[in-house]
Chains A and B, each alone.
Chain A
Amino acid sequence: MPDHSTRSRASSTSSSGSSTGTGAGTATASNADTAEHIRTLNEGTEAEREQVVIYLTQNSVTHHKDEIPETLAALQRADNKGLGKKSMIPISDPFKGGHKTGQYAFGEEKAAGMKWWHEDNTLKDGQVKIGEQTLTLGPSEDSPTDAQVAALQADWRVALLHVGLSDEKAQAVIDVLLKDAQGNAKTTASGTGASNELLQLISVLNRAENGEFDISALVLSGHHYDDTPYLFGESGNHEYDDDELTGDTLNFNDIEALGGVFPKACAEVKSVMFSACNTHAIDQQDAQGNDISTQDWVQGVFPNVENMSNWEGIAPGSDFGAFFSGEYMLDVARKESGDKGAMDDAYFRKTRIGDNMRWETGTDGKMTQTPVGKNTGSYTYNDYKGYRDSNHEAFYNREDLMKYVLKKK
């Protein structure tokens, strides 16, 4: 086992995992202070709110057996080491094997009242049944009519209200996701196949906006082509489901748009991890249409972000990618507990064909790349078993790890 005792540590940590504010810039800290003050008055301090990692994966084939359990094991280790406790809400299509994540994002009762197209073969892709109503959240064919596109708004409204959004928030989501700049009806930027993940993400953003918890970290995982604005999953025959209109494509433009609807939730996000290939180039532009970097986009959507990680080149499969996710979340916990050098070294840094990159927000408020040295004491390898100490064992079969999955009260 690696020796962790040589790393510098803060003298004290909060068991709630609250941030000590390391690395936040002056302007950033000012924004954060104002937001935090308002939240404290209404919803208690950050230390009192549950800190949550949202783990959104578009690729549902093996993540439940590798990346998610290892990341949960890292959260468990951070908790046991006194680095703060965080929980996770996984978001995905049903995993291969059938386990569904709607119960965590929506709550068991609401999830039980929904039947998605994956579960009912009378439904088309993008449809969900709530009660006796069949809702269409995206087109199942390449050329939807204007009337079909316009009808999406009413169905999204029913779905959004069902998962707990207020009338006002539901309308705001519809305005940013289903209308163009001129107010004309449009489909979501995300593909139809990602409508269930998108609704889960909206649900957790809404819950965080209402003060139920803080989203302290967001992991975005899936396949990704160079210089494209979407992550994607796989179809039933394990081919890439990458059609931008009908496929399992989650579009970064939708996430950005949701940032405007859920500003408090996004302001609490301190760390963003892309567990996906080529995420150094995600095809994003500023208001003038100029290309912007991944780190600029992340700072635009999550104004108080302190840490980001992404890939230049090809990211590894889920079983090896698990180590990068686990180590990153453990290093985030170390940094939040006062170890300012936590991001400076890592056991896991690259593959043959891809480099994992880390970025931190400096005192000037700018996000710059952190040079990462090799340190085998930073994490465990354990012959590919990691801190989860197993191979290919689903997280939902691990009682010890399930303690770190947040269930809706």
Chain B
Amino acid sequence: MSWLFLAAMALAKPTGLVETLGSIPQDAGPLAGGTATLSIDVQMVPVDGIPMTQLKAAKAAYVLVTDKGVQVLREESTASTKACRVRMLLDGPWLSDAEVTVRVKLTGAQLPMSPTVLLPEGARKVDDAWVLTAPKGAVVVDLPACG
């Protein structure tokens, strides 16, 4: 199936729009740990007289540490989109005890309520971040007051 066909399929059946960011290459491993930071820049724009959240930009940044102690940096960004959900992928060639710190940062306009941050099972809150062991899946952020 061609990418063009897949894109056409996706466009033909939209529901709530999702921006998916980042990926950890399998050949980066084995990985002993790291940090994953999802930065989301937002603005509030009136729609039919009501201030609504819009995504200006998002960036997924990873600092990965291999089993040999080498740091691997990787990031991916997106420009403004109509998405109200941002997904940052956490799957990777993690060692079974690899600890990964996940941070979500929001910048720009002050939002009327907190975003909903959805994490894979087993996430532990530590200060302003979450810690996961050998995570699978993604951290998903639903922007509030968005549509």
A residues sitting closer than 8 Å to B (CB atoms) are 61-62, 96, 223-228, 236-238, 240, 276-278, 314-317, 319-321, 348-354, 374, 376, 381, 383-384, 391-392
Contact = CB atoms under 8 A, between A and B. Distances in A.
Given A348-B50, A351-B52, A374-B49, A240 B15 contact: yes
Contact of A238 (B12, B138, B145): B138
B13 A238 contact: no
B114 interface: yes
Nearest to A222: B15
A142 to B, nearest CB: 18
Contacts of B50: 348, 381
Given A223-B15, A238-B118, A391-B113, A354 B147 contact: yes
Contacts of B138: 237-238
Contacts of B116: 61-62, 392
Given A317-B142, A351-B47, A392 B114 contact: yes
B14 A374 contact: no
A352 B82 contact: yes
Contact of B146 (A61, A317, A383): A317
Interface residues of B, number: 33
Nearest to B50: A381
B48 interface: yes
In terms of DSSP, what is the predominant structure of the interface of chain A?
A: loop
Q: Which 8 A-B pairs have the closest CB atoms?
A: A316-B147, A351-B147, A225-B13, A391-B113, A384-B112, A237-B137, A223-B15, A277-B15
B15 A391 contact: no
B43 to A, nearest CB: 12
A317 B147 contact: yes
B54 interface: yes
B84 interface: yes
B122 to A, nearest CB: 12
Contacts of A240: 15
Interface of B: 12-17, 47-50, 52, 54, 82, 84-85, 87, 112-114, 116, 118, 120-121, 136-138, 140, 142-147
28 contacts: A96-B118, A223-B15, A224-B15, A226-B12, A226-B13, A226-B14, A227-B13, A236-B121, A237-B136, A238-B118, A277-B16, A314-B14, A314-B15, A314-B16, A315-B147, A317-B85, A317-B147, A320-B147, A349-B48, A350-B47, A351-B47, A352-B47, A352-B147, A353-B147, A374-B48, A374-B49, A383-B112, A392-B113
Given A62-B116, A320-B52, A351-B52, 6 more contacts: A223-B15, A223-B16, A277-B15, A314-B14, A381-B50, A391-B112
B35 to A, nearest CB: 21
Q: Which of B12, B16, B142 has the most CB of A within 10 A?
A: B16
A171 B43 CA distance: 55
Contacts of A225: 13-15
A228 B113 contact: no
